[in-house]
């Protein structure tokens, strides 16, 4: 039995418009992959693809955290700074105690605590998300530089790096983590009530409030999750770099995270987006960075191109949705 | 939420708290250090805050419409870089280079303005993208090395009449001019109307898109002016010129009582005092011999408190208008 179409909805045209951004994205990916294939035939070897995924995993994990915040209509600019502080404090804890187990615990705790600061400021004190996280970003990165004196902190316990750099079945732990968190985040956001509340809050906070959705708690949850993801990323990135430093939270990373989300179809106006889209966006941004490297584009021009890509995608999204 | 009949303590703090903080800071540093309270030092502080105040006043126009422009620091860097390169490599005179610098500022502002007003892109994302893109472009052009200004122009940033530096007078003139523009000209009134209610402004037929576009252009122009003033003061354009300036400008605006939700604030009072608070804190900490790395932390805390005050004010206003659905 077929479902009768609702005559009040102009369904077909809307559908095409909805899928246009994804189509453009596919064309872009195809172009990039062709360029890669032309420049470097080895690109499509399994080993290299796993490498790219490993590179993308840091960005992907941060993008998952950012997706939740963007869906509520907010933004978290402090994620890279939070990640850097978590990594620095965790590494210091490991160095002073000599125990590998304490590092991840401290990193996750610091990430959560900083996420809680954002959560309280946005959800309870009703401050503007962008400015709150801009100021936490400044305070946190300032603290980070202050603690480390801009020197990177080394001396990780061997068992820490050994465990996190392992490759079970030839696939690095970082890639496993990215897949795992993508699945968890997608499940929570698509199938669980709090996840659906997230979209409700983003689409129309007033309607959500009238519908007895605990708006403040949902928003707080999104910022907490972003803080947690910053902590998770800190654990993996510290292992990969073999040290922790204030530079881990560079401003350019913030741009990459937002680029990944926007390219992956997460709306900056809230209410729209999927976690796997953001991860896909992260992979695309990583490939794009690699292509630009390969083509000899300087880092600075690369920034210009990424900035332009973000703005173009948001402009396109706005046109197609309205 | 009921409207209280007598002004509450919270409201008093929200309205007047900023002046109390400024007075307390000033008093504290005057007592705690020897040289803070001297004519030379006070004018020196005002001298070094002037570029920031000029940049903030341009950005404040954008904030008045309820939008934001965080590319100002990068615009300052890109425009002054192009100006210096024009003098060094293409034989531009100082005045022509200055004009070129301002033109670049206008063009950068126009790019932001077109994207926001014409294409409807979220202003935060637009200016975040252009912030990074403009700085990338500037770093590419300058190879991220420091460019010295020519000998002849180098001293002009620090000309003083008695204890009063010339750029303090210029900055004061700019702020008074913008205050006039904001309170007495149709352009300024439309800005405020957009910030208060963009839908209503559209319905009564105000030229919303055009005015938003113009506000971004002015913001870019003032960023270039501020960049020029900084470069003249320092005698060089470094790769760090204007880095983090968007944050400082935003802090000045918020601390100065100009609401980030748009439509409320007084440029004449807010901008100079907001800028003064930050510079006095920084200067006072230097006199106290504090760790330079701690400035960012203290500044961050101050802006956080100022934003909280802004949030309270917005909430009080909204409850008066009965717009909030109590949760």
pLDDT digits (tens, 9 = 90+) for B243-264: 878 888 888 888 888 888 888 8
* Res B6: pLDDT: 55
Three-state SS across chain B? CCCCCCCCHHHHHHHHHHHHHHHHHHHHHHHHCCCCCCHHHHHHHHHHHHHHHHHHHHHHHHHHCCCCCCCHHHHHHHHHHHHHHHHHHCCCCHHHHHHHHHHHHHHHHHHHHHHHHHCCCCHHHHHHHHHHHHHHHHHHHHCCCCEECCHHHHHHHHCEECCEEHHHHHHHHHHHHHHHHHHHCHHHHHHHHHHHCHHHHHHCCCCHHHHHHHHHHHHHHHHHHHHHHHHHHHCEECCCCCCCHHHHHHHHHHHCCCCCCCCCCCHHHHHHHHHHHHHHHHHHHHHHCCCCCHHHHHHHHHHHHHHHHHHHHHHHHHHHCCCCCCC
Separation in Å, CA of B136 to nearest CA in chain A: 4
Mutate to test the interface with A, among B75, B300, B312, B323 (most CBs of A within 10 A): B300
Chain A residue closest to B323 (CA)? Answer: A206
Report how far residue B16's alpha carbon sits from residue A168's, in angstroms, rounded to the nearest whole number.
62
* pLDDT over 80 (residue A191): yes
* Res B327: pLDDT: 42
Q: Which residues, other chains included, contact B216 with Cβ-Cβ below 8 Å and sequence gap of 6+?
A: B62, B69, B109, B110, B112, B113, B116, B117
Chain B residue closest to A120 (CA)? Answer: B308
* pLDDT over 80 (residue B126): yes
ipTM higher than 0.95?
Answer: no
Partner residue facing B133 (CB), from A145, A298, A304: A304
Q: Above pLDDT 90, what percent of chain B? A: 26
Q: Which residues, other chains included, contact A26 with Cβ-Cβ below 8 Å and sequence gap of 6+?
A: none
Three-state SS across A224-258? HHHHHHHHHHHHHHHHHHCCECHHHHCHHHHHHHH
* Res A10: pLDDT: 47
- C-beta separation of B115 from A318 below 8 A: no
Q: Do A307 and B124 touch (CB under 8 A)?
A: no
Contacts of B300 in chain A (CB under 8 A): 135-136, 138-139, 142
pLDDT tens-digit profile of A129-156? Answer: 888 888 888 888 888 888 888 788 888 8
Chain A residue closest to B308 (CA)? Answer: A127
* pLDDT over 80 (residue B134): yes
Contacts of A269 in chain B (CB under 8 A): 122
Q: Do B296 and A141 touch (CB under 8 A)?
A: yes
Selection from B6-10, B207-211, B249-253, B307-311 with the highest mean pLDDT: B207-211
* Res B112: pLDDT: 94
> Could you tell me if A208 lies within 8 Å of chain B, comparing CB atoms?
no
Partner residue facing B260 (CB), from A128, A143, A308: A128
Separation in Å, CA of A2 to nearest CA in chain B: 39
> Could you tell me if A255 lies within 8 Å of chain B, comparing CB atoms?
yes
- C-beta separation of B1 from B326 below 8 A: yes
* Res A3: pLDDT: 46
> Residue B47: is it exposed, middle or buried by C-beta count within 10 angstroms (0-12/13-18/19+)?
buried
Cα distances (Å, whole numbers) of residue A316 to A18, A190, B41: 11, 25, 52
Partner residue facing A132 (CB), from B128, B297, B307: B307
Chain A residue closest to B121 (CA)? Answer: A315
pLDDT tens-digit profile of B259-291? Answer: 888 888 888 888 888 888 888 888 888 877 777
Partner residue facing B140 (CB), from A139, A301, A308: A301
Task: Count A/B contacts: CB-CB distance under 8 Å.
Answer: 134
Separation in Å, CA of B256 to nearest CA in chain A: 15
Selection from A157-171, B118-132, B146-160 with the highest mean pLDDT: B118-132
> Could you tell me if A92 lies within 8 Å of chain B, comparing CB atoms?
no
């Amino acid at each position: 039995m077929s479902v009768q179409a609702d005559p009040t909805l102009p369904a077909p045209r809307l559908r095409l418009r909805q899928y246009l951004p994804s189509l453009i994205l596919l064309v872009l990916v195809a172009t990039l992959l062709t360029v890669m294939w032309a420049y470097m035939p080895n690109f499509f070897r399994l080993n290299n693809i796993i490498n790219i995924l490993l590179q993308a995993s840091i960005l992907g994990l941060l993008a998952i955290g950012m997706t939740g915040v963007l869906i509520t209509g907010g933004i978290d600019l402090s994620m890279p700074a939070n990640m850097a502080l978590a990594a620095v404090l965790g590494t210091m804890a490991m160095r002073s105690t000599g125990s590998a187990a304490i590092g991840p615990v401290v990193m996750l705790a610091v990430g959560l605590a900083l996420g809680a600061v954002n959560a309280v400021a946005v959800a309870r004190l009703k401050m503007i998300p962008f400015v709150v996280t801009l100021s936490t970003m400044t305070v946190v990165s300032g603290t980070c530089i202050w603690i480390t004196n801009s020197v990177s902190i080394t001396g990780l316990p061997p068992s820490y790096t050994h465990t996190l750099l392992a490759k079970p079945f030839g696939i690095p732990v970082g890639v496993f983590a990215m897949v795992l968190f993508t699945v968890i985040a997608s499940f929570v956001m698509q199938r669980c009530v709090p996840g659906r509340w997230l979209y409700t809050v983003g689409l129309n906070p007033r309607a959500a409030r009238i519908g007895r959705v605990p708006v403040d708690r949902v928003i707080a949850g999104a910022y907490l999750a972003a803080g947690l993801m910053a902590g998770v990323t800190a654990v993996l990135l510290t292992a990969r770099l073999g040290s922790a430093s204030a530079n881990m939270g560079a401003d350019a990373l913030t741009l990459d995270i937002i680029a990944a989300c926007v390219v992956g179809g997460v709306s900056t106006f809230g209410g729209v987006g999927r976690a796997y889209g953001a991860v896909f966006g992260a992979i695309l941004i990583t490939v794009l960075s690699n292509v630009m490297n390969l083509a000899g584009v300087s880092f600075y021009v690369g920034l210009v191109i990424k900035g332009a890509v973000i703005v173009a995608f948001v402009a396109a999204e706005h046109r197609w949705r309205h | 939420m009921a409207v209280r009949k007598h002004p509450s303590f919270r409201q008093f703090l929200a309205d007047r708290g900023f002046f109390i903080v400024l007075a307390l800071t000033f008093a504290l540093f005057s007592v705690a250090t020897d040289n803070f309270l001297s004519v030379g030092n006070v004018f020196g502080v005002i001298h070094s805050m002037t570029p920031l105040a000029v940049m903030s006043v341009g950005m404040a126009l954008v904030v008045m419409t309820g939008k934001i422009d965080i590319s100002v620091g990068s615009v300052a860097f890109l425009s002054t870089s192009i100006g210096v390169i024009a003098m060094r490599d293409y034989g531009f005179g100082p005045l022509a280079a200055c004009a070129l610098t301002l033109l670049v500022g206008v063009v950068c502002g126009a790019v932001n303005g077109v994207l926001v007003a014409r294409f409807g892109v979220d202003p935060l994302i637009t200016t975040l993208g252009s912030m990074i893109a403009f700085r990338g472009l500037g770093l590419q052009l300058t190879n991220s090395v420091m460019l010295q200004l020519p000998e002849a122009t180098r001293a002009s940033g620090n000309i003083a009449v008695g204890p009063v530096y010339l750029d303090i007078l210029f900055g004061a003139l700019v702020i008074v001019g913008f205050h006039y523009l904001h309170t007495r000209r149709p352009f300024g009134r439309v800005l405020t109307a957009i910030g208060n209610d963009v839908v209503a402004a559209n319905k009564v037929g105000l030229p919303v898109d055009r005015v938003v576009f113009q506000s971004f252009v002015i913001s870019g122009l003032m960023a270039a002016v501020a960049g020029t003033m900084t470069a003249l003061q320092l005698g060089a354009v470094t790769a760090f010129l204007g880095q983090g300036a968007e944050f400082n400008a935003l802090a000045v605006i918020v601390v100065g009582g100009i609401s980030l939700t748009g439509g409320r604030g007084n440029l004449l009072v807010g901008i100079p005092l907001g800028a003064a608070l930050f510079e006095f804190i920084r200067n006072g900490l230097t006199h106290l011999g504090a760790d330079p790395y701690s400035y960012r932390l203290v500044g961050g805390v101050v802006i956080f408190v100022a934003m909280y005050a802004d949030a309270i004010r917005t909430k009080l206003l909204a409850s008066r208008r009965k717009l909030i659905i109590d949760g």
